[in-house]
């Protein structure tokens, strides 16, 4: 844990500083232009909050045409993400994800998953993985590959207790 703080975090100073206590780490790596998750992050099993999204979310112009120069550019998540078993919040908005790794199903403590503005991510194809997240409470899927009919499939497939955020207004309300 101290290795990450001493060596990686000074290099990745972010929009806000990480919060650390002895047993839990909240790590904010927004807007670092990352194309991969640093190994030091994937090796730390005490991370409960991981933000790999954008520093700024723009609602106009349309999300898919907005300037995302302050965003990360992750095209895939490594299978090792499944080792972060204490993770409760995973923010992946404004990346370039097209699929989720099978190991995401090992994140049994995950409560909040933000996949918004991953315009090539087909949520319907990821449903089998999402259904295997027993503690998921909030799923943010604004501006992903999702038709109105697909949304109905997602809604029927996931637990009714999961809050599914699909509109810009719902998204804005969820971060305020």
Q: What is the pLDDT along the chain (176 residues), one digit of tens a residue?
A: 333 433 343 334 344 445 555 588 999 998 888 899 999 999 999 999 999 998 655 555 554 544 445 668 899 999 999 999 999 999 999 999 999 999 999 999 999 999 999 999 999 999 999 999 999 999 999 999 998 899 999 999 999 999 999 998 998 898 86
The encoded tokens of residue 51 equal 């933000």
Burial of 54 per CB tally in 10 Å (0-12, 13-18, 19+): buried
Domains of the chain: 2-175 (3.80.10.10)
Q: CB atoms < 10 A from the CB of 149, how many?
A: 9
Nearest to 4, CA basis, from 43, 33, 34: 43
**Confidence (pLDDT) at 70:** 60
Return the axis-axis angle of helices 123-130 and 148-157, rounded to nearest 10°: 0
**Dmax of the chain from CA atoms?**
48
């Amino acid at each position: 844990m101290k290795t990450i703080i001493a060596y990686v975090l000074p290099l990745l100073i972010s929009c806000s500083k990480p919060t650390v206590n002895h047993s839990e780490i909240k790590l904010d790596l927004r807007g670092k232009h990352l194309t991969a998750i640093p190994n030091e992050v994937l090796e730390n099993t005490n991370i409960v909050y991981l933000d790999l999204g954008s520093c700024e979310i723009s609602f106009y112009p349309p999300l898919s045409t907005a300037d995302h120069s302050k965003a990360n550019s992750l095209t895939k998540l490594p299978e090792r993400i499944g080792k972060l078993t204490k993770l409760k919040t995973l923010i992946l908005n404004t990346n370039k994800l097209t699929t989720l790794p099978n190991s995401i199903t090992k994140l049994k403590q995950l409560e909040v998953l933000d996949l918004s503005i991953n315009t090539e991510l087909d949520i319907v194809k990821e449903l089998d993985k999402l259904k295997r997240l027993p503690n998921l409470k909030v799923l943010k899927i604004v501006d992903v590959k999702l038709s109105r009919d697909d949304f109905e499939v997602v809604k029927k497939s996931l637990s009714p207790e999961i809050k599914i955020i699909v509109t810009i207004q719902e998204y804005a309300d969820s971060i305020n």
